[in-house]
Structure 1
Amino acid sequence: MALLGAQPLQAQNESGSAPHIRATLLAEGPTQPGQTVTMAVLMQPEAGWHGYWTNPGDAGLPLSLDWSLPAGAKAGDLQFPVPQTLVLQGLMNHVYEQAYAVLVPVTVPTDAQPGSTLPVSAKAQWLACTNQICVPERASLMGTIAVGDGPKDARFAAWRAALPARLDQQGKFEATPTGLALAIPFPATARIADPHFFIAGQGVIDYAAPQAFARQGDWLIVTLARAKGAMAEHPQSISGVLALGPGAGGLAITAVPGAVPKGGTPIGGSGQAAFSWRTLVLAMLGALAGGLVLNIMPCVFPILSLKAMALARGNSRHAQAEGLAYSAGVILACLALGAALLALRAGGAQVGWAFQLQNPGVVALLVLLATAITANFAGLYELPGLSVSRSGASAGTVGGAFGTGLLAAFVATPCTGPFMAAAMGVALVLPPVAGLAVFAALGLGLALPFLLIGFVPPLRRILPRPGPWMDRFRRAMAVPMGLTVAALLWLAWRQGGLGLMGAALALAVALLIVLVMAERQRRQGRTVLAWLAPLAIALIAAALLGAPRLAAKPATQSEGLPGTQPFSQAALDRARASGKPVFLYFTADWCLSCKVNESVAIDRDTTAKAFAKAGVQVIVGDWTRADPAITTFLTAQGAAGVPLYLWYAPGAATPTKLPQVLTPQTLPDLAAGAKQDG
């Protein structure tokens, strides 16, 4: 009976009939006495029915709750997810046509006994509608809160991510002859598609009237029509939700009276900025420079051994053909990754740059690739395009150069460097064809050094002559590639625990056995492709599909600096409200440039002492695995990937975006300046 009572109970409509929107009361998990737990009212409409946002629009009624709580318990305000628009017969409605969760913080009494279970209930009322009829519904919701320790309901992370992110500075609004002009702080590089502003106050604007949007620097200008019959007076503040587009989430906005910037670039019907050749050219130049810098970024080091072997073959008569093939492979891979990113975001997925490395299956696949390259460099087998004969002559092929380019881009692109971050942010704002041009420019920058070697004879003549040393060099390059395998296995452990790491290691060993067997067969003059290809496909399928299923709970993340808190919008709000400086940074275990910055500038005694003296609060967002809340925040900041470093000075309305390459003195100097200002 105790176990049964701990489960959430679904609501029954008090009229006795089955509701068209089924409501269920859930607790995120156990909590300690005096602490707050998040409750959810899960609303599940039947097909064709919908519920309403807190301001339903021209018609409708939102969910309301009348709580019955234990003595000393307290329920907070209802938190609604970002709504959708629905226009019927000229009336604008703010609705939810799919299942949605309304979250409510509930504080447990301080005298609650650990190990006990607290009953909670609420009388709920809502309106369920189709496009033709509406039915008022009500029910008694019942649930329980366990006091103590225990696991959390994993569904709450997605429900919390569906809430609008609170903007960290106020907007401005002013009256116009026809209504209101609203200025919302919004980075110029941040993507927005099909925006709509849902105002919380009723009777202020005409909900069904078209909303005009324009971009003016780091401001989004919204023109709203006055409600029919509304008075000329306007409220002292305006709040609401800016929806960024289908599946892209939204921002919770508060605006006060103030001057709204004039003019701006109108946003097209798709919500994208009007096309500009100047913007495209600047973005492509930035991407080209970013691709060049990637050649020396630490995150690209595993691929440099591949390039070194290719460059050593620069005197080959096929140098130009290999240069073109390598460049084609790099550019094609960047285009493919860019197209996948744009398509996923257009479909509503919360993904960003380097999204492929957030998939445990892709990490397992990279373990196989790095293992194959390491074995080739060590001489265990010959791989066309990468192998060098013992005489030192080139064994390179155009196909091998193309494959090397594909792999180089796939492994190199997860990190962002100088110039690249802004270019990638613009690529997500531009129309799809223009955005793909930016991704192609990134690939060209990454391939440009090798392309120049192929087409500029003086550069090829600088390289050493081919000879037996090349075979020794290749074997030496097996060491960094072997370290790459170890790093990828470590990443697998960080992402999915020992289960994922063990699966990836087993697949790598199986691949080594297959490659050694294939090499023996090849040396005996036997054909190996007929059985090698199916085995390779099976191993790849096991990596992509099977390995993630064996993943256990991810390993505990390192704490970083003393007192570091994991990122959440609530944690950031509390830290900023404290009046102390805040350092917020986003990282990932697969981003080597992030790890270099942490070693060089963040996780240092001098930084820790400077932060402690200035009272700096540190928050870290770990993006090793996909996190919709982090992706939403990065998008709002105009960032397409990590690293991202933000410094919030006390009382500052907006954060200072720090460079992506930190020095040992960057953070201590900021902390010292903040202490002096204080």
Structure 2
Amino acid sequence: MNFAHLFAAAALAASLLPAAASAQAKGPVVTTERVRAELVAHAPEGIAPGKPLWLGLQIAHQPEWHTYWKNPGDSGLPTTFEWTLPAGIEAGEVAWPVPKKIPVGPLANYGYEGTVLLPVPLKVTAAWQPSVFGEAEIKLKSTWLVCKKECIPEDGSFTLKLPARSTTAMHGAAFQAAWDQQPQALKSPAEAVVEGQALQVTVRGLPAKVVGKDLEFFPETGEVIEPAGRWTQAWKGNTWTASVPLSPHRSQSPSVMPLVLALGDQGWRSEAKVSGTWPAAAAPVAAVSPALQEALRNAAAAPGAPAATPASTLLAALLGALLGGIILNLMPCVFPVLAIKVVGFTKHADDRRGHRISGLAYTAGVVTSFAALGAVMLALRAAGEQLGWGFQLQSPAVVATLAALFTLIALNLAGMFEFRSMLPSSLATLEARHPVANAFLTGVLAVAVASPCTAPFMGASLGLAISLPAAEALAIFVVLGLGMALPYLLASWIPAFAKHLPRPGAWMETFRRLMAFPMFATVAWLVWVLGQQSGIDGAGALLALLVAMSMVVWALTLRGRTRVALASIAVAGLLFVGWSTGAAITRASTGPVAAAAKADGWQPWAPERVQQLVAAGQPVFVDFTAAWCVTCQYNKKTTLSRSEVMADFAAGKYTLLRADWTRRDPAITAALAQLGRNGVPVYVVYRPGRPPVVLSEVLSVDEVRSAIAL
């Protein structure tokens, strides 16, 4: 099985590619069903040091859709910019135009409708040199959240080549309109006084033309005021005053709060010095341990650089990772690998030295793979990718690769073929000549299969790891791998365990063939997962590919001319099936997911949906799930679908929301991060006036009923 293990290593490496694929440049325009986004430039005097140079992302929204300002209000996410610029050119901050207040049910958001240009000034230094073609190549990766009644996270990669010596001013009118909508700085500083649960704001120096008129109020600092709350404004001569209610979920207490006052498309900006005593802030967002709450507060206090982590916090996270890794062996996803390890143990029953070396090599494979996955995930998140634990199975290509891998392993265990009989002796004897490498690759295979699972204690530790410095975060991933490998490591080194192993014999061949069925069951699960991602056509295409691949394997077991002829036909058939049906595997499903969810009482989750319901006094239960998460499916069947649980939900008038993370969804990734989690399953109870409560990863009926009855 050493070649299958090599295939597993390749699959694990391939799982890292889909996350980075969206960063490829596609030109200056990205069009979706909801927006048309274009990277535009304004260089009226060409590109040279000291000359004006502006870039901007122009977003044209479909009717009723909107994106968000720098402070999105009650819900939403601002548009983000990640530039790749030539040496000697530096990007400034986004010059946000004046937003509009957009009511969404009982909430209020700050954002843009219609067409908006978000301009960014660039500085050209003396170090800049044009390319050999006399150009400056500009690349931008941007993400935005576009909402109507539902919210869709979108992203785009843009490339623009600007001539250095020619004027680029075809979008001059759009830039001029955007500059006209910039809030003008006021000479007189504003004042803000905290009085109880309200902020008393005083602004002087506004233009005479707006005196006596009602203005809109937009604070640049989020999570301080209640955007949809009732507030009052009044004029005292030429001085504008307002009483603005503080948010009951306030998470910040700024000493200086920049604010924008607006009349139509015109705005004026000032930085208000805040005096008075802030009331106590809202409780932490999730019911996690005090140590993890402290770490999350530290991370929020300094988002630009990870805060120093107290030793007790890191120790608690490492202990949680160790326990979570041990418990991970009991998760259903790991059962197929358990079968491989049991077969391996029986081979070394009379070889204590080989048994110990195998245990060490397997541990090294597990720990190395966890560290590699953790490092890649941390690096991609630092580069702006919204990823979480188990991200590789959000790619249909990786799911299909793993299905092919387990089909090969199952056919091998079932006795259809032996690698040593199909390959040259120098290759066929690799397993016997390199048992250490074989055990190491078994560890890689274990991680490839187990990584989508989140065991108890793992969730909080992985969520915390994202906010820690790189060395401490990687330590958590290493300890997690050590925990998973620990039972096998101890079993290989404890003599008492070896004494209880059955002696090798004819029964081993029967046991080996029996172990093929967990592998086939895993293939069935992976086909089902792909069906959730790419629809019934994708699942059918994968089955056709697996059948064609199995025929190739069977043909290679034959002898003589028959082998050559049938193998040629089988390979040609495999290539034809792959060419004709492969696209269906990666195509997004268009099935009626939302309708299916509503049929059993569950509704699709959206970022602002929870806030809307809770603000209206409605309790909410959210199931963060994915089709590839076996623990999620187990909880659905054994707990969340139980009649007594559903009856309690109905009695409590709970709205049931399901956040499906089967395919990559940055909004769900961000919501999990806010809860201190980085993978699924996650179950959260929201009630008006109370902090959210996060339940355990493996649910019980009593736990859910108790949580929703409080």
Give the TM-score category using the shorter length. Answer: 0.5 to 0.7
- Secondary structure of 1:569's partner? coil
Q: Are residues 7 and 490 of structure 1, via their aligned partners in 2, closer, same or farther at CA, if it must alter by over 3 Å?
A: closer
Q: Deviations over 1:558-600 (max 9, x none)?
A: 4278432111122212221232322112111111111111111
The equivalent of 1:641 in structure 2 is 679
1:662 corresponds to 2:689: no
The equivalent of 1:124 in structure 2 is none
The equivalent of 1:477 in structure 2 is 515
Instruction: Write the distance in 2 (CA, Å) between the matches of 1:427 and 1:421.
Output: 10
AA of the residue aligned to 1:271: A
Shift of 1:51: 10
1:419 corresponds to 2:457: yes
1:317-328 to structure 2, matched below 5 A, reads 317=351, 318-328=354-364
Aligned counterpart in structure 2 of residue 356 of structure 1, from 387, 392, 412: 392
Shift of 1:411: 0.5
Instruction: Write the distance in 2 (CA, Å) between the matches of 1:106 and 1:272.
Output: 36
Q: Are residues 488 and 313 of structure 1, via their aligned partners in 2, closer, same or farther at CA, if it must alter by over 3 Å?
A: same
Q: Are residues 266 and 359 of structure 1, via their aligned partners in 2, closer, same or farther at CA, if it must alter by over 3 Å?
A: closer
Instruction: Write the distance in 2 (CA, Å) between the matches of 1:39 and 1:371.
Output: 46
Q: What runs of 5+ residues in structure 2 fail to find an aligned partner?
A: 1-32, 45-53, 70-78, 103-107, 125-138, 151-167, 181-195, 201-219, 226-248, 259-268, 280-284, 286-296, 421-430
The equivalent of 1:569 in structure 2 is 607
The equivalent of 2:499 in structure 1 is 461
Instruction: Write the distance in 2 (CA, Å) between the matches of 1:277 and 1:44.
Output: 34
Shift of 1:293: 0.2
Instruction: Write the distance in 2 (CA, Å) between the matches of 1:199 and 1:468.
Output: 68
1:290 corresponds to 2:327: no
Contact in 1 for aligned 2:413/2:512 (Cα 8 Å): yes
Q: Are residues 451 and 661 of structure 1, via their aligned partners in 2, closer, same or farther at CA, if it must alter by over 3 Å?
A: same
Instruction: Write the distance in 2 (CA, Å) between the matches of 1:551 and 1:506.
Output: 19
Shift of 1:491: 0.8
Q: Deviations over 1:470-489 (max 9, x none)?
A: 11011111112111111111
AA of the residue aligned to 1:415: C
Aligned counterpart in structure 2 of residue 136 of structure 1, from 139, 164, 176: 176
Contact in 1 for aligned 2:68/2:145 (Cα 8 Å): yes
Q: Are residues 462 and 625 of structure 1, via their aligned partners in 2, closer, same or farther at CA, if it must alter by over 3 Å?
A: same
The equivalent of 1:309 in structure 2 is 343
1:579 corresponds to 2:617: yes
- Secondary structure of 2:701's partner? coil
1:229-628 to structure 2, matched below 5 A, reads 234=275, 270-317=304-351, 318-383=354-419, 397-520=435-558, 548-549=585-586, 552-553=589-590, 556=593, 558-559=596-597, 562-628=600-666
The equivalent of 2:235 in structure 1 is none
Q: Are residues 547 and 474 of structure 1, via their aligned partners in 2, closer, same or farther at CA, if it must alter by over 3 Å?
A: farther
Shift of 1:26: 3.1
Instruction: Write the distance in 2 (CA, Å) between the matches of 1:541 and 1:348.
Output: 33
Instruction: Write the distance in 1 (CA, Å) between the matches of 2:576 and 2:553.
Output: 12
Q: Deviations over 1:302-324 (max 9, x none)?
A: 32212221222241421122112
Contact in 2 for aligned 1:78/1:104 (Cα 8 Å): no
1:27 corresponds to 2:65: no
AA of the residue aligned to 1:639: R
Q: Are residues 458 and 200 of structure 1, via their aligned partners in 2, closer, same or farther at CA, if it must alter by over 3 Å?
A: closer
Shift of 1:360: 0.5
**Count of residues in correspondence between the two structures:** 512
Task: Tell which deviates more after alignment, 429-438 or 621-630.
Answer: 429-438
Q: Are residues 50 and 468 of structure 1, via their aligned partners in 2, closer, same or farther at CA, if it must alter by over 3 Å?
A: same
Q: Are residues 276 and 601 of structure 1, via their aligned partners in 2, closer, same or farther at CA, if it must alter by over 3 Å?
A: same
Instruction: Write the distance in 1 (CA, Å) between the matches of 2:374 and 2:575.
Output: 27
Shift of 1:79: 1.8
Instruction: Write the distance in 2 (CA, Å) between the matches of 1:426 and 1:9.
Output: 37
Contact in 2 for aligned 1:267/1:274 (Cα 8 Å): no
The equivalent of 2:65 in structure 1 is 38
Q: Deviations over 1:132-173 (max 9, x none)?
A: x99522799xxxxxxxxxxxxxxxxxxxxxxxxxxxxxx999
Q: Are residues 629 and 540 of structure 1, via their aligned partners in 2, closer, same or farther at CA, if it must alter by over 3 Å?
A: farther
Shift of 1:469: 0.8
Q: Are residues 7 and 638 of structure 1, via their aligned partners in 2, closer, same or farther at CA, if it must alter by over 3 Å?
A: closer
The equivalent of 1:651 in structure 2 is 689
Q: Deviations over 1:270-307 (max 9, x none)?
A: 42121444433332222111111011122322322122
Shift of 1:510: 2.8
Shift of 1:517: 3.4
Shift of 1:405: 1.1
- Secondary structure of 1:559's partner? helix
Q: Are residues 354 and 172 of structure 1, via their aligned partners in 2, closer, same or farther at CA, if it must alter by over 3 Å?
A: farther
- Secondary structure of 2:307's partner? coil
- Secondary structure of 1:137's partner? helix
The equivalent of 1:125 in structure 2 is none
Instruction: Write the distance in 2 (CA, Å) between the matches of 1:269 and 1:627.
Output: 22
Contact in 1 for aligned 2:371/2:474 (Cα 8 Å): yes
Shift of 1:659: 1.4
Q: What runs of 5+ residues in structure 1 fail to find an aligned partner?
A: 1-5, 29-36, 67-75, 90-95, 108-127, 141-170, 176-195, 202-217, 239-250, 252-262, 385-393
Q: Are residues 84 and 585 of structure 1, via their aligned partners in 2, closer, same or farther at CA, if it must alter by over 3 Å?
A: farther
The equivalent of 2:668 in structure 1 is 630
The equivalent of 2:9 in structure 1 is none
- TM (norm. structure 2) is 0.60
Instruction: Write the distance in 2 (CA, Å) between the matches of 1:483 and 1:8.
Output: 42
- TM (norm. structure 1) is 0.63
Q: Are residues 172 and 380 of structure 1, via their aligned partners in 2, closer, same or farther at CA, if it must alter by over 3 Å?
A: farther
Instruction: Write the distance in 1 (CA, Å) between the matches of 2:350 and 2:611.
Output: 60
Shift of 1:404: 1.4
Contact in 1 for aligned 2:55/2:121 (Cα 8 Å): no
AA of the residue aligned to 2:492: G
Contact in 2 for aligned 1:20/1:49 (Cα 8 Å): no
Q: Are residues 638 and 545 of structure 1, via their aligned partners in 2, closer, same or farther at CA, if it must alter by over 3 Å?
A: farther
Q: Are residues 337 and 134 of structure 1, via their aligned partners in 2, closer, same or farther at CA, if it must alter by over 3 Å?
A: same
Q: Report which of the two has the higher share of helix.
A: 2
Q: Deviations over 1:439-465 (max 9, x none)?
A: 111111111121122222211111111
- Secondary structure of 2:622's partner? strand
Q: Deviations over 1:369-409 (max 9, x none)?
A: 1101110110112258xxxxxxxxx9793232222111111
AA of the residue aligned to 2:65: T
Instruction: Write the distance in 2 (CA, Å) between the matches of 1:577 and 1:367.
Output: 44
- Secondary structure of 1:501's partner? helix
The equivalent of 2:111 in structure 1 is 79
AA of the residue aligned to 1:452: L
Contact in 1 for aligned 2:256/2:273 (Cα 8 Å): no
Shift of 1:325: 1.6
Shift of 1:647: 1.0
The equivalent of 1:62 in structure 2 is 98
Q: Are residues 22 and 266 of structure 1, via their aligned partners in 2, closer, same or farther at CA, if it must alter by over 3 Å?
A: closer
Shift of 1:538: 8.9
